[in-house]
Structure 1
Amino acid sequence: MIDEEAQYDALLGGSEELPSNISLSKFVACRSQEIQIMKNSLLTQTGSKLAFQTLPKHMRRRAMSHNVKRLPRRLRQIHLNQMKKSGMPTQQKRPSRKYRRKPRNLLEEYTKRANKKYKWLQTHIWHAKRFHMVEKWGYKLPYHACDKAFRACYRAMTQHCLLQDISYYSCVEIHGDKSEIIEKIKLLCKPGEGLSIGAKAFSEGNREGEICLYDSFQKAIGNVMFQWQPSIDEKCKLWLWVHAAFYSTTKNTLVECFKNCQIEINELRLELSRFRLSGPLSNPVLQDALALIDIYDIKLVPESPLKKYIDWPENKAVIINQCEFWKKLASVASLHEVSPHIVLPLIVKDPRLNLPKKRIKSVLTFGKLEFDQIPVNISANPLWDKTIRTYSNENKVSDSKIVDLQSGLLVPGSDLKGTIGHIPIILIQRPGNKTQNVGLGSGWDVILPTAWAKPFWIAFVMRGARVGGLRESDSMLYEMGKSQLLHPDTDAGFEEELRHSNQHRVTFFQKPPNKRINYSKFKIASPLLCNWRLLLKDWNSGFTGEFSVLRDKKQLHSINAFLNSKTHPVPQCPQNCLIPVRLECEKRGSLAEYAIICVPKCKSDLSEVLLEPNCEDVNKEKRKELRRAHQSLLKKLRKKRKLKSELASDDHSEILRSYTEKMRALWLPEPTTIRHSCSREVVGFVSKGGFSFSIGKSAGTGYITSDCLSELVDFRNKVLLRNTNSRQYKTANLSVIVE
């Protein structure tokens, strides 16, 4: 038997012996206090070094003190605690791009940015990636595309399809007795400006109309589009589509008008969106993108309000007529052949079910109209029901579910055959021009539930529609020969002109003095603003400060006949009015904004090259003297600063502000007269000018005073135009705009 090996203590002469085995749990429990002390000593830095300074040199990395993730994991919390104690902010690295671009996180980020000051359209994210965005009328709106698309958008309007999101037009619903609504709305309108809101053409709800609203003081607010609900009852609904520039004014006026009536006013701006398609291919784009429902094979939830609407026998017959009429419209070569402003409701399938894999171009199919007249009773629409609108907005299938269904297709890329969603929409025809360039600007307006705006938008884009912004809206009106949307006699139009003028002033004074245009030498009294009030005061000494744009169609036609005939007498027009006109240059040359419209003195002015005589700048020496005095004052202040350590900043800023205001007043002095500011009498301004692609030469739209018609007897429709940066007059043909 082998002797047991002697233990360490016995070898040293001791008597202590260790047991042959121990209990681990009891041993750790006895040493727990020692282990805890050791852990605390590791986590607590007792020395003067920071956490990253305790690392060996070969493990240290650059910017460890700023980026905690460069440290080993065991030292990160220690480093963060040290940073907090020292008062330095713990700057964390922003999440990765992959994390930020997840749809859920992306929508949360955009929701945070969408503040209450500026509202976003449903297509804002799509536009923000591709367009220059501007803040106007309480919205973030697309102005123009980032690429060079000016001519491309014009080609789309004339040859293809131009798509625009005009959801900044908000819908106001008026519900009550129809006759009472008509009587009250007529108080906000003026006779002679076209068909009224109670006209038979609109009262049945099969067409959309347009009127100009006035406030209680008979001051113009702006043009609104309206549509009646098809109903035979005395109580019905009226939709007003109001521009965002004067939406609040219109709403307050309507509330005041219906204050003591049993009329209900509701805002639908969050429930409905509106798109505008213009051009000859707008009809093929809609024909390809909109898949009509099968009335005999509808698989909806039985309790859904849309299912109940479709199952009603009368509604089922109307839906069949609507579908047949829409199929017949596929053979229309040009939309101006269709009855103008017709309202066509449809119920279509989810546009994501038949979305093409890549962008295609819809093709126009030529043919003849297969119907002689519009079917009766096709304007009934489920969107008038609030429960159906709410159901359509709240029961939209998510994009992820659509992707899951597409991934389960037997043949990848084929259309989905499910009945996931049925969406009620409204199509409204726009006839475009009716005289010159017939059909230019014609197309469809699409009204749909707000939640479905983006799927339909992508469906239209994938069929070849080119997207435009606010610049294209102004360009379309200009090419059609119409005046701009916001007239100068409205508050919205005045604010828009003032905002535009301030932008030009800022640009003007950002240039150095030797690069600025000296308008005094060109005898331009108001170069950066259409000063209508001063112009009207020059032509009428009894002007009180209030004016209006002439909208009476009979009077406008009478003025047009006077301009186009040598024997027609001067028409009687109200004083202090502006007449909307279109001007076309007879010869070469460009026409710019703020150009002045003048009356010739003699017939030789129209045949010869006419130049404005040279004029001296009377403020030139005053500007030099002011600059010398200002420089001398700055030298004195500089000497005072050397003697005195502190100088009151308020006095210094006030001196600079006063000098800037005086110098700007000498560059752009306040005009005292506009009519007699140059050698030819000024009768108006050009509010929009440039080269017109539709007529192939320079043209413009503007306004002239009604008091100047007697001066045009000898020249009729021949006037002179002059840009603000030129001395040369151009001959132009004048015509009145009658909308």
Structure 2
Amino acid sequence: MSSKTEHKRRKLYKSRIIRTELQDPSFKDERLNVEEFLKSREFEVNQLQMAQLKSKKNSSTRCFQSLPRSMRRRTASHNIKRVPRRLRPRMIREMTSNNGSILSKKPKHSRGRELYKLKRLHRLLKLATVAKSKGKPLDLPTGIDLKEKLRIVRSHIAELQNAKDAEVQTYDNMHLKFIKLHQQSLNNKLGSMDNTAVNELAVFKPHALKYSNRQKKFKWLPTHVWHAKRAHMVKRWGFNIALQPSQKCYRATHRNYLHSHCIAWDTSYIGTIILHHSTSLTPLIHLVGQLTKNEAVKPKFLKNHKIWEGIIYHENNSIGQSQIIWQDLPNVKQCILRVHPSLYESFFKLLLKLSPKDVTVFDCRYSLASFQVTGPAALTALGAVMKTADNNENWKQLCSFRDNSMVPTGSSISFYINDPRYLNKPHKYHHNIREDELDLIIAIKEGKVFDSGSFEDLFTYQGRIKSYKNQPSLKDLDLRRNIIVNNDNVDNLGKTLPRNPDDPLVPIHLSKLENGYYQVIVPWYWNLPVWYKLMRFPEVRYGGLRQMHQLNLETNRPTYPFDYPFWYHGFLSSFIQGQEFQKKWELRPKGKRLNYSKLKIHNLPGELLGELGDPFVSDWRYLQVLQYALKVHKECVHLDPSSFDVSNWTTLGHRCLKQLQDVYECVRDVQRQDSEFENADEEKILPIPVKYKGEYQFDPTKIDKVSVVIRDEIPKLPVTLISVEIEGTGHIATNARLYQVPSHDWQSWLENNDQKPVRAKYLVGFITTGTINLATGKHTGIGCMSHEVNQLLNKEKHHHLLLRNVGEVTFRLVKFQDIPL
């Protein structure tokens, strides 16, 4: 063994030695010296703590290994710029002593094709900067090569130089004319513009020319580059959205939400539609009343600036969720609707179809951005970043609230803030809690703490254009900071920059949602500056779609669209998720993947072999056919399999349901027909087999047969949203199967929690989301079950079901409760 290895081993051994006093001097002549005894114990405790620190330090021999988890970077092992400044000298010494190579700069000059490509890209960016400086931004098409882009940009600049007064295309619509004039002649250096469409869907315009080709199908949010460095991204609903942070954060998310910090999400993918009328709200009230069954047109929403959240309907059928804000000002009569991107385009076309001619529909998908914050420190963090222009005392007092329940749900406020980039670093308001807290809460609830000017500027294209006027760049702000430093004004060094008279004000809208989150709406190109400063506040953590899903599960709230299988986009999300699960299963070797078709789940005579339905999804089509067939064959009596006759067919090609096995065979017939339909050349259509509650449309004329010829003959199955919690040990996974407890085994299951197998005919629902719930310390889930069975159990006050995870044979007792829609 080399001396170097021996030295390292001795060093590690010594670091784990805990020094103790074997002969205690405090005990002499059968007497205890209390002072000496306390000193000895203090010495041993200190040695124990030192041993723990030494052992931890010696296990990480390099400085980048001793960093906190949130500061670790993969490239820190060879790039000293990825460790804090105070540790860089130590890292250089370690790399030099270990003959490690310090990452050197790239060669000053590239070679060959790489050099040629970089030069052309440099020319393109240079020309694009010239076009932007002239206030005439260029909308380049995606999917073209670099050479074609250069040609388009050059011709664009030539046109600007030849035509001093360019003719502006005349538009019939006054709003559209104003927007086009702004887009053709910007009022700032950064290229920020209001991308609003009038009575049509807006076209996304990539802000960064360099990355335009990457946004052909899936658009980037304003904070995409920031998230891409720190989170796993996923392509959903036409956008690139953060799925979850790169670091593990399941328990940290629960702690930050409940106890200490706050969590922020960029929700700019939620689209905004504005309905505008020039003189009155009456046509808007009539239109929105049809869509919400008059729920969103109550006086408390029309007058108090309260935000409405609920279900939207079309022809008495629920189609999704929406947020609605009314704007009843002297100069503006508008209704703002915020809709999930999976529903946005179809809902926008529906509004165009239903709107009267004197109502203008604005598509503000790419002109209004938003983010959401939740947690005890949410208001404190927002106050540290968003400094009001008029030094509003009400906002300062509101930011001192640490209890989210103090702010009324649905309330909203609007005000102007300064450019957050003025701040050197975010600092919270030091505001004492006054005795008139209750007065402030009442004023917020009644809509009295509200700035109508900022509210109008945020939701009108004229106001958003005004917020971009003279928008300073980071370079301009740095020059202003350098002037302060050069003047040796030590008092102002590192503090907030003073606002110039020409600097714009940023209108924002803050509202409290039903789930306890604070939603902030800002102009599209102001979202990134606010987000950067918000992430610099120490108590803020960022989250993705999975963190939002996790917190919804902890509060027994279904997540749209995943937990809504009775809506088209919820059913489609389940279908896509099932395809992903199936791909992962197929990638595994055959010897190491579970064969779902040969499982003996219902280990009873005459029962089916294998998993019920598609094992990768919540198979609502299977449940629909099973429940309908059992409804037809209500008085089914189990017979021995040997007596089963497979030729129970009528002359019209219908299967007669005389036995329980006939029911199972009928389900297989429909599954086989669905498979043939999906494999056909015709366009694939995903029929929704379930609906939310309602009556079961059962035709008594077909009481003795089920057609396997006509696909859509089986009516939709009414289902109810429920949450379940496991009673004993075990876990709950997504796509788990829910069974009704057999009436003859009810008492034994409740008293002994028996592990008896249950027949497939008792299947009543599925779990759409299930995992460990840190709020309760148990496994919980959200899903749907048959509405008819739900009513029966609620009537009998039996709130228990049996749950079985996919691929398992164990049945577990769970307690369920209904979730209102």
TM-score when normalising by structure 2: 0.59
AA matched with 1:183: H
Shift of 1:732: 1.2
Choose which of 291, 299, 313 in structure 2 pairs with 1:188: 291
Deviations 1:546-604 (A, max 9, x none): 5322499xxxxxxxxxxxxxxxxxxxxx9832100000111121100111111112221
Q: Which residue of 2 aligns with 1:136?
A: 236
Shift of 1:512: 1.6
Tell me the SS of whatever aligns to 2:724: strand
Distance 2:782 2:810 in 1: 19
Q: Which residue of 1 aligns with 2:763?
A: 682
Choose which of 612, 624, 630 in structure 2 pairs with 1:525: 612
Asked if the contact 1:610/1:728 (under 8 Å) is kept, the reply is no
Asked if the contact 2:728/2:813 (under 8 Å) is kept, the reply is yes
2:354 maps to 1:257:
yes
Tell me the SS of whatever aligns to 1:293: coil
2:312 maps to 1:231:
no
Q: Which residue of 2 aligns with 1:701?
A: 782
Equivalent residues in 2 for 1:707-722 (5 A)? 707-709=788-790, 712=793, 716-722=798-804
Shift of 1:680: 6.6
Distance 1:448 1:497 in 2: 32
AA matched with 2:288: I
Q: Which residue of 1 aligns with 2:542?
A: 467
Distance change (3 Å), C-alpha of 1:551 and 1:131? farther
Asked if the contact 1:536/1:705 (under 8 Å) is kept, the reply is no
Equivalent residues in 2 for 1:626-705 (5 A)? 678=759, 681-705=762-786
Asked if the contact 2:566/2:688 (under 8 Å) is kept, the reply is no
Distance 2:433 2:616 in 1: 49
2:574 maps to 1:497:
yes
Asked if the contact 1:210/1:223 (under 8 Å) is kept, the reply is yes
Shift of 1:407: 1.9
Shift of 1:518: 2.6
Distance 2:110 2:777 in 1: 66
Asked if the contact 1:333/1:366 (under 8 Å) is kept, the reply is no
Distance 1:516 1:579 in 2: 33
Distance 1:326 1:413 in 2: 24
Equivalent residues in 2 for 1:29-428 (5 A)? 92=115, 95=118, 108=208, 110-159=210-259, 160-176=261-277, 177-189=280-292, 191=293, 196-216=295-315, 218-231=316-329, 236-258=333-355, 260-294=356-390, 323-356=392-425, 370-372=437-439, 373-374=442-443, 377-379=448-450, 380=452, 381=455, 382-409=457-484, 410-411=489-490, 412-419=493-500, 420-428=503-511
Distance 1:70 1:348 in 2: 45
Asked if the contact 1:362/1:463 (under 8 Å) is kept, the reply is no
Deviations 1:379-410 (A, max 9, x none): 42232332111121353211111111122223
Which stretch of the first structure deviates more once superposed, 399-408 or 534-543?
534-543
2:805 maps to 1:731:
no
Asked if the contact 2:276/2:333 (under 8 Å) is kept, the reply is yes
AA matched with 1:331: S
Shift of 1:414: 2.2
Distance 1:591 1:466 in 2: 28
Asked if the contact 2:244/2:547 (under 8 Å) is kept, the reply is yes
Asked if the contact 1:158/1:280 (under 8 Å) is kept, the reply is yes
Shift of 1:360: 7.7
AA matched with 1:425: I
Q: Which residue of 2 aligns with 1:561?
A: none
Q: Which residue of 2 aligns with 1:443?
A: 517
Distance 1:689 1:153 in 2: 17
Which stretch of the first structure deviates more once superposed, 195-204 or 604-613?
604-613
Q: Which residue of 1 aligns with 2:586?
A: 509
Distance 1:389 1:332 in 2: 30
Asked if the contact 1:575/1:707 (under 8 Å) is kept, the reply is no
| Greater Cα radius of gyration, structure 1 or 2 | 1
Deviations 1:695-738 (A, max 9, x none): 11110000011121365255611111111132111111110112
Distance change (3 Å), C-alpha of 1:429 and 1:509? same
Distance 1:287 1:270 in 2: 26
Deviations 1:664-686 (A, max 9, x none): xxxxxxxxxxxxx9357111100
Distance change (3 Å), C-alpha of 1:708 and 1:371? closer
Asked if the contact 1:611/1:727 (under 8 Å) is kept, the reply is no
AA matched with 1:267: D
Distance change (3 Å), C-alpha of 1:449 and 1:610? same
Distance 1:498 1:738 in 2: 24
Asked if the contact 1:293/1:348 (under 8 Å) is kept, the reply is yes
Q: Which residue of 1 aligns with 2:530?
A: 456
AA matched with 1:726: E
Equivalent residues in 2 for 1:529-608 (5 A)? 529-540=617-628, 547-550=690-693, 576-601=717-742, 602=745, 603-608=747-752
Tell me the SS of whatever aligns to 1:396: coil
Tell me the SS of whatever aligns to 2:226: helix
AA matched with 1:517: L
TM-score when normalising by structure 1: 0.66
Deviations 1:230-277 (A, max 9, x none): 3368x710000011111111111111111x442110111121110100
Tell me the SS of whatever aligns to 1:421: coil
Distance 2:430 2:458 in 1: 30
Asked if the contact 2:380/2:428 (under 8 Å) is kept, the reply is no
Asked if the contact 1:539/1:708 (under 8 Å) is kept, the reply is no
- Structure showing greater relative contact order (alpha-carbon pairs closer than 8 Å, 6 or more residues apart): 1
Distance change (3 Å), C-alpha of 1:136 and 1:90? closer
Which structure 1 segments of 5+ residues have no match? 1-66, 72-88, 296-322, 433-441, 553-573, 614-676
Q: Count matched residues.
A: 525
Shift of 1:283: 0.7
Distance 2:571 2:362 in 1: 28
Asked if the contact 2:770/2:780 (under 8 Å) is kept, the reply is yes
Deviations 1:185-211 (A, max 9, x none): 23233x5xxx71101121115110113
Q: Which residue of 2 aligns with 1:563?
A: none
Tell me the SS of whatever aligns to 1:496: helix
Tell me the SS of whatever aligns to 1:331: coil
Asked if the contact 1:341/1:430 (under 8 Å) is kept, the reply is yes
Distance 2:110 2:520 in 1: 55
Which structure 2 segments of 5+ residues have no match? 1-106, 130-205, 602-609, 633-686, 696-714
AA matched with 2:361: I
RMSD between aligned alpha carbons? 3.3
Shift of 1:515: 1.4
AA matched with 2:285: I
Q: Which residue of 2 aligns with 1:616?
A: none
AA matched with 1:347: Y
AA matched with 1:685: F
AA matched with 2:283: E
AA matched with 1:253: L
